[in-house]
A and B are shown apart, each in its own frame.
Chain A
């Protein structure tokens, strides 16, 4: 079992839809959770950063962490064609540890 899993997609949605992207993980020690957006062959760009369980909202993006289920989600409201990219979840145990990335989900928002 991989440490962090994501549905690879591709996930295709119409413009304006609500998108739900998910990651599951196996290590209950993870405390920091991040979502990165990566356009084709570009550097990943940090979207959201959360610590422990709960929700965090930033504009059209909401990150949700459920540590009891070892499950994190990223919701995108009013999706736009410019949101078409690969979304990577990443997580971290803490001090001196290294980030573990999920394999990414490819999202395509159709105009």
Chain B
């Protein structure tokens, strides 16, 4: 158990809908990262927050947004969902905002039908 908690574990929704994925980082970690992993694809970096502030954006679609709250949990909002958004969404956390290792949650498996 990495200590990173993600909910929900599985989610099935229809095209055009909006969902929110939630992440609680490890105790003491200030950085939260979101990654997308499609079937047979590598991990694609979406966004990084550190202590409530956005630090970096990767290939995150405009339909997607995220935030990190004062209690350090983070939410990833996915809207106007398309079939191609079906993927595993991982949250990871690290203590600081530099060359540290990151620890992954178990992921939220999103299926868009």
A positions within 8 Å CB-CB of B = 31-32, 34, 36, 41-46, 49, 51, 88, 92, 94-104
Contacts and interface: CB of A to CB of B under 8 A. Distances in A.
B104 A43 contact: yes
Q: Is the interface of A mostly helix, strand, loop or mixed?
A: loop
Given A92-B99, A96-B98, A98-B33, A42 B107 contact: yes
Contacts, number: 56
Given A88-B43, A96-B55, A98-B48, A43 B106 contact: yes
Given A95-B98, A96-B98, A43 B2 contact: yes
Nearest to B104: A43
Interface of B: 2, 4, 33, 41-43, 45, 48, 55-56, 58, 88, 90, 97-99, 101-107, 109
Contact of A45 (B33, B42, B104): B104
Contacts of B105: 43
A44 B101 CA distance: 12
Given A41-B109, A101-B42, 8 more contacts: A43-B90, A43-B106, A44-B104, A45-B2, A88-B42, A96-B55, A96-B56, A96-B98
Q: Is the interface of B mostly helix, strand, loop or mixed?
A: loop
A101 B106 contact: no
Contacts of A103: 41-42
A88 B44 CA distance: 12
* Interface-centre pick from B98, B101, B109 (highest chain A CB count, 10 A): B101
Contacts of A43: 2, 4, 90, 104-107
A101 B2 contact: no
B107 A41 contact: yes
Given A41-B107, A43-B90, A43-B107, A98 B45 contact: yes
A104 B48 contact: no
A96 B107 CA distance: 24
A39 to B, nearest CB: 10
